[in-house]
Amino acid sequence: MQTNVNNTSIFDFHGRPSFLKALPISLQHVLAMIAGVITPPIIIAGVVGSTPQEKLLLIQIAVLASGICTLFHLYGVWKFGARLPAIFGVGFAYVPTLIAVGSQFGIEGILGAQLIGGITMMVVGYFIQYIRHLFPPVVAGTVVLVIGLSLYDIAIRYIAGSGNVNAPGFGELQNWGVGLVTLVTVLLASQFGKGVVKLSAIIVGILVGYLIALPLGMVDFSSVANAEWIAVPQVMPFEMEFHSAAIVSLVVICVINSVQTIGDLSATSVAGMNRELKTKELTGGLLGNGLTTAASAFFGALPTSTFSQNVGIVAMTKVISRYVLAIAGIFMLLAGLSPKFGAIMTTIPYPVLGGATITVFGMITMTGIQLLTKDEMSARNMTIVGLALALSLGISAVPSAIAEFPETLQNVIGGAPIVVAAITAFLLNLTLPRKTLADEAREREAIAEADAEQAADQGGLKAEK
């Protein structure tokens, strides 16, 4: 289908407005995603014990990969790419699993498992039209809920001063003060701000927290001075290692993330374009996300996913011009080519990061609850959700409880509540008989009638005696 070359509408996917008209909306998308892009590599760098140089590299390549990934999905290549007004990049959904894998096998184990996970995601994308029914809201919602719940301790540790509870100064009142001011700023900007301030509340909170932390001596600029202005990413900056336990964990979360991608792309097409998601777009989105996740492993970038906050911007503004979102992708790409930008990001103090991101983690939890409420809260579904939560969070809280399990199984489920939740919810959804609320109501009525008849019979026997 040919498009009008003079189309300048921001409300048309193929529209090409003037640069000055597109720029403010593009910057909104950048501001909405940037905190979500840089925080995962910062967290994982702390978990795997990266050097300052490796930490800079992880941030730089995460930003670069997010820009490339967004442009790839906007324009597509062959069958790959959603070709929808959606933002893709390194996201939070994988963080709990990456922490579990990284603490055992390091960044090498993460990247090796990520490669297999990305390939698995492509397989899911190819067959999605046949297996989509296996991941109803009760399964996807349970996993997203556990993702949010399992991130809370990270945010609290960061507010207290470090990802390591044994770090010097951990829990000091100064850390809590900066973290809480950042949190309050995010809340005020998101609830009372307007326009760009409201859409970029997390960045506003980080800026305010950063300015407060500066005179308190909490910001270290030593890494910025030594960082280069421009650097091209290297292939295989880290080696890859393949551990069965790590691979199982990443494969599970990649499959589950495919379900989240379905939700985000569906929301984009319905809320932004006033139509249902096409099978071709869904398949292309999942194939493309799997390809970028697998390819990212060769450059040290973490797994990619859709950004729900940017879906919200599209739904609210109705701006679906590919050109507008492409500018945002180019901004991210250019920032990713500069280690200096990554170095500046590493100067953000932990309390500021914690105060800003705890609201994000809370929203992830609420997104899970929203997904769950799309299904009937029947006794069957409540059993699935309740048991998945109990087993996943219970085992995560008491890892010594599975000390006698085979080592491989310990590595898969120990410290990775998302894997336990996903497997439990998936298997229970397949095996438990499906009953609607109406079915359950009829069962209760039948039981009540049977009880009444039994009571009447017993009353008659007593009368005869």
Largest CA-CA distance found in the chain, in angstroms, rounded: 99
Q: Strands, DSSP E only, in 91-145?
A: none
On whether the CB atoms of residues 293 and 68 are closer than 8 A, the answer is no
Classify residue 164 by its DSSP letter: S
| pLDDT tens, residue by residue, 246-276 | 898 888 888 877 877 877 787 778 777 888 7
Of the candidates 320, 309, 299, the one whose C-alpha atom is nearest the C-alpha of residue 88 is 309
Reported pTM:
0.72
The secondary structure element, H or E, covering residue 306 is strand 304-306
CA distance 411 to 415: 8
Per-residue confidence in pLDDT tens, the chain, 465 aa = 445 557 788 888 888 988 888 887 787 787 667 777 888 898 899 889 888 888 888 988 998 999 999 999 999 999 999 999 988 988 777 887 898 889 889 999 999 999 999 999 999 888 887 877 787 888 878 877 887 787 788 788 888 887 666 778 888 889 999 999 999 998 898 888 876 677 667 778 888 999 999 888 888 787 777 778 887 888 888 999 999 888 988 888 888 778 778 777 877 787 778 887 788 888 999 999 999 999 999 999 999 988 776 776 777 667 888 998 999 999 889 888 888 877 787 788 889 888 887 877 777 777 778 778 877 778 888 999 999 999 988 888 888 888 888 877 776 776 668 778 888 888 999 898 876 666 666 766 767 776 677 766 666 666 665
Classify residue 236 by its DSSP letter: -
Phi, psi of 88 (to 5 degrees): -120, 150
On whether the CB atoms of residues 380 and 432 are closer than 8 A, the answer is yes
| pLDDT tens, residue by residue, 216-232 | 888 878 777 777 888 78
